[in-house]
Structure 1
Amino acid sequence: MHISVAGKQIDLSDALKHRVSAHLDRISEKYFGQAMEARVTFSRARSFFTCDINLHATRGLTLRGEGEAADAHSAFDDAAEHIARRLRRYHRKATNHGHMKTRQQVPEFGRSYVLRPGMATLATVEEDSPPDEEDAALGTAGPYATIIAERPAEIPTLSVSEAVMRLDLADSQIQLFRNSGTDTVNVLYRRPDGNIGWLDPSIRASN
């Protein structure tokens, strides 16, 4: 597994880098056989250190952990423990996911866009200004949303429980996936109350 260990405006000892690599290698071998890559970033904020771990275990499965402490070693321990807790929660599913063969299907891709809200007001909008083709296609015509970044995004086919696992392991706010049970695109997201919301367009409201 390729492991990148870096510090933001701080120097890291060889002993710390070796410890990080050895620990992540053990996690990879235990749960996934062999993970793809990991990025570990240390930084310092006032009187404490922070550590951010991003571990790409298999295609589409990412684990993320954040930690902070008075020293870099303890910050890594804190971040690694966050990952370990999630892996213990999903021990069987994560292990099976790491060792199973890729589903025999053509991957589905979309595009992920980053939009910046416009600063114009209604009074400054020129009604006779035609939108360009890209804005018209995306429904972002006008000064209220500007595309500042875009990249390909894979839409995995998962069960709801698999999607919940990915959302939790990656510590992300949203998970877009194609529901393997209904063959529709679903969304999981974190609610302000701490629970997980699930959007499923295949379920129609009763009149």
Structure 2
Amino acid sequence: MTLRISGKSISIGEALRARVGDRTDEVLRKYFDGNYSGHITLSKDGFGFRTDCALHLDSGISLEAESNAADAYASADAALLMIEKRLRRYKSRLKDRSARKTYAAATAFAELNGVGLDAPSYVIEAPESDDEVTEYSPVIIAEATTALKRLSVSEAVMELDLSGAACLVFQHGGSGRVNVIYRRTDGNVGWVDPPAVNP
């Protein structure tokens, strides 16, 4: 278990560091019985404090939360409360050891067979002349190279909720096709499952 608690442009005392560490351990042990790692950053934000949490569970799930409050302790507590609410929603799946073992076995099998899909790293440059630009066209940058997880739709929705991300790209567990789920503006989850391409 490696948990870094640090201040960004501020010095945090041992009392705050100990309280945040103890509270994080309490929240995660309540709903998850494996190991975890992560980084919690506290920073000054205007007249208050901001806390950014990024925690990674050994089951492969990432949790992210951020909060603002007038007090550093309150800001950290609010961020950890968000994580606790997300974990409470999915506690039965997180405690289920057989599901984690199945997921780990499927991931290991996919890596052995080279099924993991990698996104290439590239930068598309802005046009050289003004003739090519008719309206605003920003530079598109794609730098992430990551293996897609093989998940069922319900597992992907769980991961989307736990991470707090706007969207999640994954490989469908049944069909093997690349799927996308995303948070809609009405609060629901959208699912994109394109049909298989026939050569």
* Superposed pair shares fold, TM > 0.5: yes
CA–CA distance in 2 between the matches of 1:115 and 1:59?
32
Code of the aligned partner of 2:110: V
Aligned partner (choices 106, 123, 126) of residue 118 of structure 1: 126
Code of the aligned partner of 2:162: L
Aligned length: 186
CA–CA distance in 2 between the matches of 1:77 and 1:63?
15
Which residue number corresponds to residue 79 of structure 1? 79
Which residue number corresponds to residue 39 of structure 2? 39
Aligned partner (choices 182, 190, 197) of residue 189 of structure 1: 182
Q: Offset of 1:93 from its aligned partner?
A: 1.5
Q: Give the aligned CA root-mean-square deviation in angstroms.
A: 2.7
Aligned partner (choices 97, 105, 110) of residue 106 of structure 1: 110
Within a 5 Å distance, the mapping from 1:1-207 to structure 2 comes to 1-96=1-96, 100-101=100-101, 102-104=104-106, 105-107=109-111, 108-111=116-119, 113=121, 115=123, 118=126, 120=128, 123-124=131-132, 145=139, 147=141, 150-202=143-195
Q: Which protein is richer in helix relative to its size?
A: 2
Q: Offset of 1:91 from its aligned partner?
A: 1.3
Q: Identity across aligned pairs (percent)?
A: 34
* Mean CA deviation greater in 54-63 or 113-122: 113-122
Instruction: Name the SS for the 2:119 alignment partner.
Output: strand
Q: Deviations over 1:102-154 (max 9, x none)?
A: 124223141264757726566158xxxxxxxxxxxxxxxxx97454x624212
Q: Offset of 1:58 from its aligned partner?
A: 2.3
Contact 1:32 1:98 in 2 (8 A): no
Instruction: Name the SS for the 1:152 alignment partner.
Output: coil
Contact 1:50 1:68 in 2 (8 A): yes
Q: Which protein is richer in strand relative to its size?
A: 1
CA–CA distance in 1 between the matches of 2:186 and 2:196?
23
Contact 1:32 1:99 in 2 (8 A): no
Instruction: Name the SS for the 1:162 alignment partner.
Output: helix
* Structure 2 unaligned blocks of 5 or more: none
Larger radius of gyration: 1
CA–CA distance in 2 between the matches of 1:36 and 1:71?
26
